[in-house]
Amino acid sequence: MQALYAQLLVGLINGSFYALLSLGLAVIFGMLNIINFAHGALYMMGAFVAYFLLNLGGINYWWALLLAPIIVGIFGMILERTMLQWLTGLDHLYGLLLTFGIALIVQGVFQNYFGSSGLPYAIPDELKGGMNLGFMFLPIYRGWVVVFSLVVCLATWFLIEKTRLGAYLRAATENPTLVRAFGVNVPRMITLTYGLGVGLAALAGVLSAPINQVRPLMGADLIIVVFAVVVIGGMGSIMGSIITGFALGVIEGLTKYFYPEASNTVVFVLMVLVLLVKPTGLTGRAA
Amino acid sequence: MPDTAIAEAPAKAATGGNILQVRNLEAWYGESHILHGISFDVKAGEVVTLLGRNGAGKTTTLKSIMGIIGKRTGSVKFNNQEIIRATSDKIARMGIAFCPEERGIFSSLDVRENLMLPPVVREGGLPLDQIFELFPNLKERLNSQGTKLSGGEQQMLAIARILRTGASFLMLDEPTEGLAPVIIQQIGHTIARLKKEGFTILLVEQNFRFASTVADRYYVVEHGKIIDGFSNAELAANMDKLHTYLGV
């Protein structure tokens, strides 16, 4: 039983990263119509920024949680202003290729300077140690990651579905021309949306640094699964991304316990099944 | 369409100078040249209607004024300020509001969110209680999804949401299209009421029987140009000509 709970926890942790990343992808896709293949690289940058802040500036984990998303978010907004904005109205393929190219360049640069092995990032003192829950031992940092990710996901959902700013965002996703003709500066909103999605990825990167180490290819490994999560959940649905992210993490964890051989493929098998039955994804709206 | 309420509305003479002055406006959709030099004026407080056949360029004229058409040349002055090169969000902020032909109700927003969406650009917009007085149906459906409304209700919502913003110059593109006579009548009442409140309205209409119940003046658009213009008083005298223009 201990092993089962341990795998469930690993599943929830992975699910947290899936949810944060697929949420950002969904927001970006909705607004920019771009399948952001650079997402994994930006997630990795989040972890590296946390590493630099700590080792070059002596700035701790808690500040990194705030600063890394902002710094990487600004980097993302510069990408959007200088490159992505010119793809408006073109086929999805262009955005996919451009962001894929950006991902390769960013990862290549980091690999050049830092190799492929991981750099250590210590768990902050406040979150060291663990708790005995009776049925299992819970490392506090891991519990923190799950709870904090869930809170950030729900806050993002609230922002988009329940606030006035979110209403602009949803409306501009449907008809940017009309929203602009109402007096909203839509191009600026698009840039900020990209910054938000990228910031979520960077936040996931910071959260993952103490668990998975800081590696130039940490995002490249993860992003393929995240895209499968997005396909299963349905592009463009916020709550769908969150629920699917956590659920698939858990399913992966359970598979690791019951049938470890399939744990790396279960997500992709599910993706195929969902595509066969409901090509728009579980929560996707028909186009 | 006899309409006593509208007959009661004072046919207020247009006062003040031109609020909108369009000169030699040309516009393109990609390669196709749609407007070939549109020129006309709208005075403050007037209801002016653009008439013309399908494809004549009426909608394109409104969209060009709103800054939605990418390539446009000539001059559009609003309150004496040149706006031909301005982006549509700037134009909206100057006090022009647009209600598109397809209504543009957002399906991912409920009625309340649709209604509250356009930002307030200046003071003097209609307060919500007056908007609900004009369109009581909307008040009952505030929590419905925007596109679950009937066609008439969607049209009311599309008009209602631009009344809040403080924009005093409204452009309505075929507000009666595809609606039942009783709804058309309600929209007629609304336009008359808005005129009384001091709004200036530029209307595009195919239905000139409806237009004649609300408009002060008409311009006829054909092949991307204004080919004629007359006041409501001259409508009867121009009826034969108008039938030829519109092919009805």
Q: What is the ipTM of this complex?
A: 0.88
- Would you state the pLDDT for residue A136? 83
Contact by Cβ (8 Å): B213, B11? no
Q: Which class for B70: exposed (0-12), middle (13-18), buried (19 or more C-beta within 10 A)?
A: exposed
Per residue in A46-75, pLDDT (tens digit) is 999 999 999 999 999 999 999 999 999 999
Q: What's the rounded mean pLDDT across residues A195-216?
A: 96
- Judge: B108–A179 Cβ closer than 8 Å, yes or no: no
Chain A hits for B97, Cβ within 8 Å: 182
Residue B57: which of B26, B99, B87 has the closest Cα? B26
For residue A183, pLDDT beyond 70: yes
Domain total for chain A?
1
The domain segmentation of chain B, as residue ranges, is 4-246
Answer whether residue A287 is part of any domain. no
Structure tokens at A158: 């609230």
How far away is chain B from the Cα of A239, in angstroms, using its nearest Cα? 14
In chain A, residues 184-213 whose CB comes closer than 8 Å to chain B:
184-186
What DSSP designation does B236 have? G
Between CA B99 and CA B81 the distance in angstroms is: 22
C-alpha–C-alpha distance, residues B126 and A256, integer Å: 61
For residue A199, being part of any structural domain is answered with: yes
Residue A284 placed within a domain: no
Residue A195 inside a domain? The answer is: yes
What is the predicted pLDDT for the residue at A182?
A: 97
Contact present, B49 and B237 (Cβ < 8 Å): no
Which of B67, B91, B106 has the CB atom closest to A174's CB atom?
B106
CA quadruple A285, B110, B68, B58: dihedral sign: positive
With a cut of 80, say whether residue B141 has pLDDT above it: yes
Q: Name chain A contacts of B121, Cβ cutoff 8 Å.
A: 183
State whether B66 and A181 contact (CB < 8 Å).
yes
Nearest by CB to residue A184, choosing from B68, B97, B119, is B119
The residue of chain A with its CA nearest to that of B92 is: A183
Full residue range of the structural domain in which residue A236 is found: 2-277
Name residue, tokens 């930002």: B119
AA identity, residue A6: A
User: Does B16 have pLDDT greater than 60?
Assistant: no
Q: Report the CATH number of the B4-246 domain.
A: 3.40.50.300
Min Cα–Cα distance to chain A from B192, Å:
23
B98 CB neighbours in chain A (<8 A) are: 181
Determine how many CB atoms are found less than 10 A away from the CB of residue B102: 13
**CATH code (residue A157):** 1.10.3470
The pLDDT tens digits of the residues spanning B42-81 come to 999 999 999 999 899 999 999 999 999 989 999 999 999 9
State the sign of the Cα–Cα–Cα–Cα dihedral A33, A35, A37, A40.
positive
Q: Order the strands of the B32-43 sheet from edge to edge.
A: B32-43, B18-29, B71-78, B81-82
Contacts of A203 (CB under 8 A, 6+ apart): A20, A46, A65, A68, A69, A152
Q: How far is CA A246 from CA A162, A206, B57, in A?
A: 22, 18, 52
> Which pLDDT value is given to residue B248?
63
> Is A50:A206 a contact under the CB 8 Å cutoff?
yes
Question: Is pLDDT at B156 greater than 80 in this prediction?
Answer: yes
Tell me the CA end-to-end span of chain A in Å, nearest whole number.
44
A5 or A64: whose pLDDT is higher?
Answer: A64
CB contact under 8 A, B117 and A186: no
Which positions in chain B have a beta carbon within 8 angstroms of at least one beta carbon in chain A? 66-68, 87-89, 91-93, 97-98, 100, 104, 106-109, 113, 116-119, 121, 162, 165
* Region of poorest pLDDT, from A42-51, A165-174, A226-235: A226-235
Nearest-Cα residue of chain B relative to residue A187:
B89
CB A208 within 8 A of CB A49: no
Joined tokens for residue A276: 């066969």
